[in-house]
Structure 1
Amino acid sequence: MAVKRTLILLLLIVLKDSGTTTSQPCSSSCPTDCYCGHRDLTSVPQNLPTNITSLDLRVNDITNLSHSDFSRYGNLEKLILSANEISMIKNGTFHNLTSLTILSLPINQLTTLPADMFQGLGNLQYLIISQNQLSVLPANVFKGLGNLETLFLNTNQLSSLPVGIFEDLKNLTTLRLNRNQLTSLPADIFPVLSSIANVYVNDNPWQCDCDMLSFKQLMTGRYAFESQITCAGPANLTGKGLLHDVQANPGDPGCFSSCSCDSLTGCYCGRRDLTGVPQGLPANITRLDLEVNDITTLSQSDFSRYRSLEKLYLAANQISVINNGTFYNLTSLTILYLPINRLTTLRADMFEGLGNLRGLYVMQNRISSLPANVFDGLVNLDTLFLNTNQLSSLPVGIFEDLKNLTTLRLNRNQLTSLPADIFPVLSSIANVYVNDNPWQCDCDMLRIKQMMTGSFEFESQITCAGPARLRGKNLLREVRVNRDKPNCLSSISGSWSLSQTKHAVLTVPLVWPLLVQIINR
């Protein structure tokens, strides 16, 4: 018995899903709900009871609708016309259906709607026109639909929306505009969209250009629909989210840059294929990230409007030229990050005016030489990364102005020697890295060797690359001063350390008398 009940229940569910339990057959005998779907009808049947409240005409072959089709069914509340071939709806077709609350017209061939199509439908709550071929809408087509709650316009060919088109829809809670051909939205539509609980605008070919500028400027990130707009153009913004990845830039010809700026006055412009520094970003930004782009040259005009910058990131570009005065106006700059570029040298006045700079990173370039005064004036610098370049020598006095330096990286260069005056400077810096250089332990390194005491970590990082007899020797522990040798330095013999040598020298006077007595016996 239980199995029988279950089968009956399943049958009822199937019948309900097919629409045959809630609506009666399409004939003069149906009471209030008439189901006339899947009947190959080419027109609206006129033999139904005049008092019906629901008429389902889905999946037929109707092509046109006119006023006479529904004039005798003035009590209709629900009208389903989905999946027909409707391409024309004449003026006044629905005028007499003042009780209508649901009108469903998806999957038809509509390309436009008459301006007065919904006139008189003040009680309409659900309007479904999705999956047609609508390309334009009259500005006042939805006028008077004050009770409308749900409007589906998705999956059409709409390329634009008239100004004020949704202004009368005060009770709208769901609006679907997704999967159209919309490229922009009028600015006046933003307050309307923000008042609707459920808005869908995704999957449109949005053009993030000047036509979208006013709309972008109204964005706050509070509404879900804002994050659904992904740029399909122009090419430099393709795939970017208008809310988070694109910055309004009224001064730019295209009105947008591909940078995203946050409320903390920082702009991220990394990985945007930029060939120059974007102009028109907020002038008061304190952080600008331009990493991983294609910038080749920098000049003063690039940063002249961003005088509040404190952090500037330019890593992984193609920068080979930094012109005179490029950073001159950035007096608040504390971090300048320039690694992984193509710099071969630095201008003598490159850092002029950057008295507040604390971190300077120019590693992983191709720098082979440095002007003697390049770091003059950087009195607050505490971190300097020069590693992984092609430096073969350092000018005398190059680090003398850097009184607050705590970290200096010179490793992985082509340094062969160090000027003697640099030793006191290096010994005053907490963290110094000089390893992985081809140090030549010859007379040019004599003074450095003579100053070594073993008190500083950097001393043990110098491993000789030459001459051949000292290759692989540690300058601090395995090489001694030898003025008589042409190269001024020689290897400490055997495995004796410097301390062992001192001990041997001290003990010779003690054992010598004993050796003499043994010999004389």
Structure 2
Amino acid sequence: MKVLMLLVFPLLLAVSYGNVKLCLKCICYKKALIQPLYTVGCSHLGLQDTFPNLEQWPEYGQQEETRMAVNFDWNDIQHLKKFPHIPGIVSLSLQHNKITKIAGNAFVELDNLKVLDLSYNQLTAEGVQADVFRGRYSPQRYDPLGIVVLNLGSNHIHTLSPYSFEHLPNLTELRLSYNPLKVLSPSTLMSLGSPDRLQILDLSYTGLSDLPEAFVQLTSLRHKLQVLYLNGNQFLRVPQTLAALGDSLQKLNLNDNPILELEEDSYRGLLSLRELNMSAMSHLRRIGPSTFAHLRSLEILYCSYNHNLTELDEEAFGYGDNPWTLRELYLRSNALHTLPVHLAPWKNLAVVDVQDNPWCCDCNLNWFINELVPLLADITPDLVLGLHCSEPLQLSGMSFLSLRNPANSSLLCGDMITSTSKTVWDHSVQLYSAFQAVIIVLLVAAAGLAILYYLQLRRNAMHSIQTQFSNIRYMKAKTET
């Protein structure tokens, strides 16, 4: 018992003075890789600070060659204080806290910090000032922070300070999703123009309805931006200003925007785009001819869960003489009843997902059943299971695979035509028989009427003769008298 007290008392004393060792409170783990990676897990501990004293951190974290990922997620931190000199930290996550304020030069001692996650906090523009991300400075030299990835998503940022990122020249990925920006103000644009090599920008769910010309003309974006997230905004059409980013933009996400129709000019100028996401558009009804004609580098197209999309023009890709580049096509859970046979060179696609559409299994879709389904079954058999007929009624709910089953061969288009023809013929025979019966009845009735008429004429004639004979006898009798 005494030995236990001797061990526990220093720990309790350290806790009372706020000097508890980090690895006694958090979970420290070493992953044996080519270069060891240390992880520090301090989440869900109700912490109000991040161990500001250097003595609390493990010694290996103070070594330049160390690689350490630190996690302070899901705590009660409100005021983020300056970190001690821990050059081993390369990744720092502070998600799901209550941070409203960050101390100036908070990260200046983290020489090798590359990834910083401050998402799901309560930061505003005042909490993201330039001095927060200031690096080491002396009259002889200035060493900016080496942060490459910065996540400020899900905060309360309406606008950014013009100089928020001026000390982050190495920033290549910036995430501002789920902030109530609504418009890209001049100060926000100026802030976005600070990094020299921005490649990934996330503006999803920020309430935007327009991309101003000043945005796409930023020197930090022109010829550099490769990935742009605009999903979950209020765009009624694809921003035409995106064409200015056409020589560098490779991935564009427009999911969940109230776009009604896509047409030939929608993606004009995006010559380098390789991946396009345009799913979950509840208002989208039509994709017109040549919509994707300008996307000469497109390899992956996501166009799924558009529950009102009923029309997909067979010339939607309209490449003409341009080489076919598309490799993956996702058209799942739309409202498509048919699929144009000439929409794509189907054999050139590695993935085709057209499940969960209300297909009308008539003769127009016979090529689909006999040609495309076998192709899909060989390449991606798991993407065929969700193919079902919704029309006609006698095929409703039947899978495409069962349609191709020899036992159900009578349900294929040719046999449906035969069955339909037989039904029509049977109806014709029945109608002809009924017509014959009516004719016979009419003929019998006419014959009966003719006989009656003849008998009546004969009766009248006999009556006339008898009358004449009676008159003769009467006249003869009168003469003789």
- TM bracket, shorter-chain basis: 0.3 to 0.5
Indicate the structure with greater helix content: 2
Q: Which fold has the larger relative contact order, with Cα–Cα distance below 8 Å and residues 6 or more apart in sequence?
A: 2
